[in-house]
Amino acid sequence: MDIYSKKLPSIKQLQYFIAVCEEHSFRGAANKLNVSQPPLSIQIKELEEKLEVSLFLRNSHQVVLTKEGEEFKSKVTQILRELCSVTKSIKSNNDNKITLGTTKTLSFDFIDYFKEFFTEFADVIEIYKHNYTSKELQFELQKRHIDFAFVSDYQSRNEHENSLLIYREPMMLVLPESHPNSKHNQIDLNDVLDLPLFWFKQHSNPSFYEQCEQVFKTLNHPITRRPELPDNLSMLLEVSLGKAIMLLPQSMAQAKLDGVVYKPLINKQSEKLKIDIYLIWRRDLHQTTLTKAIIDYFNGKYLTLEK
């Protein structure tokens, strides 16, 4: 008989068997397991049929183990204890892992600051694989699917509770290589108002949208907006054709495309258009050496960067 045989007892049948052994009655075992008696009796009967032996001697007053039942009880007890031990061990290993979500706003692989963190905590961090927005990650945090998250739009932030400002990502202007200002080291938005700007909807990132509006209001003329296309590549192609410009987080400005250049903005605009990145964590997060180390890591690093 192999491990895939349908003739093998189920874990439930083994648990029911041990409960009957401990309670010396089917009714007592059913109460212990919080199940009704008929299903328990059926499971024991099926177990005996699989083993092709009688495990109990029954009468109206008591249940007594047969010789085969005694031998089977000893082995089953050992099997269930080992299974409990393995399960506890696996769970313990998982408890030593932290699940962290990262907003799709940035490409963290291209930011040295975060690459250092992922390298240092590689053995204890599991990255949440879903491609979520900051708002969606906050919901995942509330549902306890993740422990920490890097988010960019965090309006409900309370500086004294479960959050840290850990990074400010500069924006890059994406413009056609053919544009007269494409050779400049830094670009003033006032000098590219002849082209429409691909722009996102306010509800997708309200805080940053308002941040940008404050800068746009200082420009010499209103900036023309053009609705974003479904993906960055489509918009980059439009930029290469001289039909528009884009603003992208620095970490997202990596695609190499003929006819497109990435340029930093002049300092007074760049400083006001940086994206604030927060580390947030569950309100009920269990405080361990590991969780404290992660929080302390960013607390110290950010203070160093700001000096």
Answer yes or no: is pLDDT of 104 > 60: yes
**Statement to judge: residues 243 and 214 lie in one domain:** yes
**Statement to judge: residues 209 and 119 lie in one domain:** no
How many structural domains comprise the chain? 3
> Is 50 domain-assigned?
yes
60 confidence band (pLDDT: 50, 70, 90): low
> Is 82 domain-assigned?
yes
Answer yes or no: is pLDDT of 159 > 80: no
Q: What is the pLDDT of residues 175-207, one digit of tens each?
A: 999 999 999 999 999 999 999 999 998 887 888
Counting DSSP H helices and E strands in the chain, the numbers are: 10, 12
**How high does pLDDT run on average in the chain?**
89
Report the phi/psi class of residue 144: left, alpha or beta, with left for phi > 0 and alpha for psi in -120 to 50.
left
CATH number, domain at 112? Answer: 3.40.190.10
Q: What is the pLDDT of residue 4?
A: 87
Determine contact, residues 66/25, Cβ cutoff 8 Å: no
Compute the chain's Rg from CA coordinates: 31
Q: What is the pLDDT of residue 160?
A: 45
Q: Looking at the DSSP assignment, which residues form a beta bridge with residue 124?
A: none
> Is 2 domain-assigned?
no
Q: What is the pLDDT of residues 263-272, one digit of tens each?
A: 999 999 999 9
User: Measuring CA to CA, how many Å separate 60 from each of 23, 42, 171?
Assistant: 15, 17, 81
**Statement to judge: residues 21 and 84 lie in one domain:** yes
> Is 30 domain-assigned?
yes
Residue-range definition of the domain harbouring residue 255: 171-272
CATH number, domain at 53? Answer: 1.10.10.10
C-alpha–C-alpha distance, residues 40 and 29, integer Å: 8
C-alpha–C-alpha distance, residues 146 and 296, integer Å: 19
123 confidence band (pLDDT: 50, 70, 90): confident
Q: What is the pLDDT of residue 105?
A: 87
* Ranges 121-130, 184-193, 241-250: which has the least confidence: 121-130
Instruction: Please say which residue of 43, 75, 95 terminates a domain.
Output: 95
Greater confidence, 262 or 58?
A: 262
CA atoms within 13 A on the CB side of 133: 8
> Is 3 domain-assigned?
no
What H or E segment, with its residue span, contains residue 241? none
